[in-house]
Amino acid sequence: MAVALYVHHSQYNTVSFSKPEKSRVCSCPQCLTDGDPWFWELINSAPQPFLSEDYETSEDDFKWWKGVQWEKRNFTLYNATLSKLFQVIPRVPGVVGSSPDRCRTCAVVGNSGNLNGSSYGSLIDGHDIVIRMNRGLTKGYEEDVGKKTTHHVMYPQSAMRLDNSSRLVFVPFNIYDLQWIINLFSSLFHLENRAKSSNRIANKDLVMILNPAFMRYVHEAWLDKKGRYPSTGFIAVALSMQMCDEINVFGFGADRDGNWNHYFEQIKNKKLRTGPHAGNHEYTIIEELHNKEKIQFFVPQ
């Protein structure tokens, strides 16, 4: 059965089958949005992926986001927190749009144990943009996962230290997470905690905050509302479609033994699955995108 890649009865389901009236957007042999009008419309219907000082979150999107992890506080505090946030991090995220003068390639690297022994490292590092997520290590695993990272998607509980040139793509699930970022990069905070000032996890000038409306769009338009909310990995795949012209995906799904584990650790709980996320459904959609030749999905044999 084919997987629907947009949702009926949602705010994102307006699909036009007329051909988009625009010039070619990239110089690749095949751009991401070439061909199927339905796919172009799905990508084009996305809200702004990242928060910025001049973006106003709708109260409806905020209410949806509150339910992700049962945030109890109100819209007024959310907006006040954002005002403080943009005094600390860039007011406008560093997003560069597509251009007919370039072909921007993107590798989205998940953390699946199926990467062990894959020898994908050099292939991954050959991309213009390399997106990793959560505790996706590279040191010691370079042959299989590469060593280049341009964007790293994570939230407080999955945070790890990044090098000074990698962009932190921060996924907030509640207001506390936004306050965590403020505290992390606040000059006053580090003056009061001198011992911790050398342990900043990322370059504050390269921080990008996921828009709650984009998380909702992924959940409704891509995942048909399956799972409580999208996984960080699937959010990264959806983000790549807003940033890149050609997309290759690595390290998603279970390992060869059917375990949902990570390449950088030995799992003890063999029954570990995907928690609140619809892992199998997300995997099926990635496979369908591969079959439709929108992305290339690498699965080691």
**What DSSP character marks residue 48?**
P
Is position 190 annotated as part of the catalytic site?
A: no
Is position 229 annotated as part of the catalytic site?
A: yes
Q: Coil, helix or strand for 219? A: helix
Q: Coil, helix or strand for 286? A: helix
Structure tokens at 139: 């040191």
Name the region of 225 (left: φ>0; alpha: ψ -120 to 50; beta: rest).
left
57-to-51, 69, 70, 179, 193 alpha-carbon distances in Å: 8, 18, 18, 17, 33
Catalytic residue among 127, 219, 262, 277: 277
Q: Where are the alpha helices (DSSP H) in 33-164?
A: 37-44, 59-66, 75-85, 121-125, 142-145
Which phi and psi angles does 88 have, rounded to 5°?
Answer: -110, -40
d(CA 240, CA 107): 8
Structure tokens at 121: 């490292």
The 10 Å CB-count burial string (b at 16+, else e) for 201-216 is bbebebbbbbbbbbbb
Q: Locate tokens 């306050």: which residue?
A: 179
Catalytic residue among 6, 229, 263, 283: 229
Q: Locate tokens 């997470």: which residue?
A: 177
| Residues 260, 273 contacting (CB under 8 angstroms) | yes
Catalytic positions are: 229, 277
